[in-house]
Structure 1
Amino acid sequence: MRDQKTTPKVELFVSPEGFFQELVQEGLNQRKVQTYPVVETYLVRLLQHYLDARNLFESDYVSESGQKAPQTLAEMYLTAQSAEPPVKNEMLRKLGDRALYISGFFGDSLSRKVVDIDYYAGIGGAAYATLAHHTKEDTMVKVYDTFARRFQDYVDVLTYISHNSFIKSDESILRLYDRYMRTGSELAREKLVEMGVLALSPDQVKLGKQG
């Protein structure tokens, strides 16, 4: 009886981290951006975090009195400046990350708004610069300083990834969310639920099960 040759197994799926690692490396190469491995890793984690679009709209800060702080980037930056060090650094990191991601993935829609991409770059770069100054860990100082000095380079990398991956800026989650918040559009709400940005209420879940 002949020995049957075993067919080598082919790995059909990669982890989210592996997938984004490939995207980041391709984006850096295509944009000819040379950087540190730790910065590359940070970008991978950034993409993983915003894979859940709800993280774009998470609450950033609640005061001791329970009141939410204003949510514009400029107001968030000013609020962070007066916060205690741990809270301050966390707010600035979220602010810088969000400004970087939105500039890269939604720059097309920003160009048509009063608040344009230069605003996001200015606020994001300032947030990272402040972090670089106050952070004690040398590795993270290197990351934040790199983003502060070369913010637009990394916007270009994320824009390349946006245009060459499954996430398209033409189908802007932000634009859809903005429409829902302004008009209460049922269609926009349904799309956001499908995309996981909005959750169904318990009553809506019961209705769905009864249908």
Structure 2
Amino acid sequence: MRDKSSTVELFISPEGYFQELVQQGLSQRKVNTYPHVESYLVRLLQHYLDARNLYDEPYENESGQRSPQTLAEAYLIAQNSEPFVRTEMLRKLGDKTLYISGFFGDSLSRKIVDIDYYAEIGGAAYASLAHCTREDAMIKVYSTFSERFLEFVDVLTYISHQSLIKSDESILRLYERYMRTGSELAKEKLKEMGVLTLPADQVKLGKQG
């Protein structure tokens, strides 16, 4: 009879993987914060694994031409929108500028629009969010990002250098592929990244349950 214990591997979800990365980044950059901020950063990393989330739909300007929004334009449009729309736009703007500053800061330094501009817009977006949000925990999160924006840029920069998040085949896509097909190649890549999964036969059994 086969020893089942030899075939069972520890399961660590992508969320758990990112939680470890965030905690490591905060520790290495000596940034003290609290659980709500850590959780927010984990969700941020998961959201932008899909690079399509970095790009906004073009909008139609006053002359009828559709053009990409600049950060400043997006901020002004958000401030003049209805409350629900304003909150959503400000959150997306803050998150996007924080992520781009952390993961692509090196390329920003070679452009006319540099990281200071992103920090200014992102910090302002989070500050506005703190004023129009009623939930105490989120007010504290947004205020923290507004007041210490560049500290968290450093944390994300550290994470980008220590992980494979920017690879063409992201962790989540690999994970979803493995869960759907039991692909051995996807499994091996996940193991190389430190994300251990259940064996394929257990995945299939789980899907049948």
Give the structure-2-normalised TM-score.
0.72
Q: In structure 2, list runs of 5 or more residues that go unmatched.
A: 169-209
Where does residue 38 of structure 2 map in the other structure? 40
The two structures, once aligned, show a CA RMSD in angstroms of 2.5
After superposing the two structures, state which structure 1 stretch, 95-104 or 6-15, moved more: 6-15
Q: Report the CA distance between 1:58 and its aligned residue.
A: 3.3
Partners of 1:27 and 1:161 within 8 A in 2: yes
Query: 1:28-177 counterparts in 2 under 5 A?
Result: 28-59=26-57, 70-167=68-165
Instruction: Show structure 1 runs of 4+ deviating over 6 A.
Output: 60-63, 66-69
CA offsets per residue over residues 17-61 of structure 1, 9 Å max, x none? 111111101101101111110000000000000010100013387
How many angstroms apart in 2 are the aligned matches of 1:150 and 1:116? 18
After superposition, what is the alpha-carbon deviation per residue over 1:150-170, rounded to whole angstroms, capped at 9, x for unaligned?
00010000000001101359x
Structure 1 residues 61 and 43, CA, compared in 2 at 3 Å: closer, same or farther?
A: farther
Structure 2 residue matching 1:20: 3-state secondary structure: helix
Alpha carbons of structure 1 residues 11 and 75: separation in structure 2 relative to 1, 3 Å: same
Percent identity between the aligned chains? 72
Give the number of equivalent residue pairs: 166
- Rounded to whole Å, the distance in 1 between the matches of 2:100 and 2:4 is 48
**Counterpart residue type for residue 16 of structure 1:** P
Question: Residue 36 of structure 2: SS of its match in structure 1?
Answer: helix
Distance 1:80 1:102 in 2: 19
For 2:89, give the aligned amino acid: M
Query: TM-score by structure 1 length?
Result: 0.71
Question: Does the CA-based 8 Å contact 1:60-1:91 persist in structure 2?
Answer: no
Post-superposition shift, 1:11?
2.6
Structure 1 residue 69: Cα displacement: 7.5
Greater RCO (CA < 8 Å, at least 6 residues apart): 2
Q: SS of the residue aligned with 2:111?
A: coil
Q: CA deviation at 1:68?
A: 6.4
